[in-house]
Amino acid sequence: MVKVEESEVLVMDCHHIPKIELHCHLDGSVRPKTIIDLAKKDGIELPSYDLEEIEKLSIAPMECSSLDEYLKRFDLPLAVMQSGENIEKIVFELMEDALFENVKYMEIRFAPVLHTKNGMSQKEVIQSAINGIKRAEMFFNIEATLILCCMKHLSEEDAIETIEAGKKFIGKGVSAVDLAGGEEEGFADKFVNAMKLAKEYGYHITVHAGEAASAQNVIDSIEKLGAERIGHGVRIENNEETYNLVKEKGVMLEICPTSNVQTKAVDSMKNHPIRRFLDDGIKISVNTDNRTVSNTSMSDEFEVCRDVFGFGEEEFRKVYAHSVNALFVDDKKKEKLLRVLNQ
């Protein structure tokens, strides 16, 4: 008989835990091999066609100097994401990858405006991503919707253009808008009218804030932009007013542990406040941010939560329930997803 070490028995298998992903960027999650395949197919020039080289160029180091350095890794995938066919394929593959991590439902985000270089309209871009979702849902036991990112470095008019383009897809593949990209202090003021319009149209709203700049951006995102969830938000830790606001309002923080270390949102993994947040009743979810750029998966992020923060079954059940309750879906869908916990 094979003797099983006690430690082996006690280690929780993170791979098979059911998961919900709320924060995943499509362009940061393209398989490196697909970047090469699509570039060859379309005659797009890459710095190299060697898989190892492309991996090196599309994965951000653990020690980035800043969020801006991290964001440079998106140039390469974006080069091959300028046709509907390619976008559809990349969405399909992302959902296939998530399926193997036991993700039950995911919200995939991307900025349609970054995919119009070859003349596609933003509506065509969105439609092709929805086609990818529909195809994956036909083949796999996983569902998804899209979050449309407006870019913080562009104008409010640009944001409104994306909001208008996605309007007809609300409830038919699109659930929300987001503000993404490099974070400056006080960015919210520029987008008040755009987010008001989005809300009127029926979009849900999530905003990247408190990642590379102060907790005040989190307050502004909630109070001025109507954010229902916050991308990252880890900087609330040292600001009592923001912390209490997030806690009282039950605003979900979409936490991405590996990415938070890479972008210097936190100074090290062991100092990440995720466990303190969870124990104190802050609503948190665990996400990849970017499978390729952060060289991670949902299973990897769960392992970090297990190994560094001591998450066990109770904590993972809490994260799953928080995540389902914060999804931009109707109550019927939430009930169905919550039933997974009892299986």
Please report, as ranges, the residues that interact with Zn ion according to CB under 5 A: 289
> Smallest gap, in angstroms, from Cβ of residue 24 to Zn ion?
8
CA angle 118, 122, 128 (to 5 degrees): 85
23 annotated ligand binder = yes
322 annotated ligand binder = no
With b meaning 16 or more CB within 10 Å and e meaning fewer, what string describes 293-312?
Answer: bbbbbbbbbbbbbbeebebe
For Zn ion, the closer CB: 152 or 306? 152
289 annotated ligand binder = yes
> Smallest gap, in angstroms, from Cβ of residue 147 to Zn ion?
10
50 annotated ligand binder = no
> Smallest gap, in angstroms, from Cβ of residue 263 to Zn ion?
9
Q: Report d(CA 291, CA 320) in Å as an integer.
A: 19
For Zn ion, the closer CB: 147 or 195? 147
For Zn ion, the closer CB: 36 or 195? 195
Sheet arrangement for strand 19-25: 19-25, 103-110, 143-151, 174-180, 204-209, 229-232, 252-255, 284-286
For Zn ion, the closer CB: 36 or 144? 144
Under 8 Å between Cβ of 176 and 169: no
Q: Is 211 annotated as catalytic?
A: yes
Q: Active-site residue among 211, 228, 254, 303?
A: 211
232 annotated ligand binder = no
Q: Which residues are annotated as a binding site for substrate?
A: 25, 27, 181
Write out the catalytic residue numbers: 211
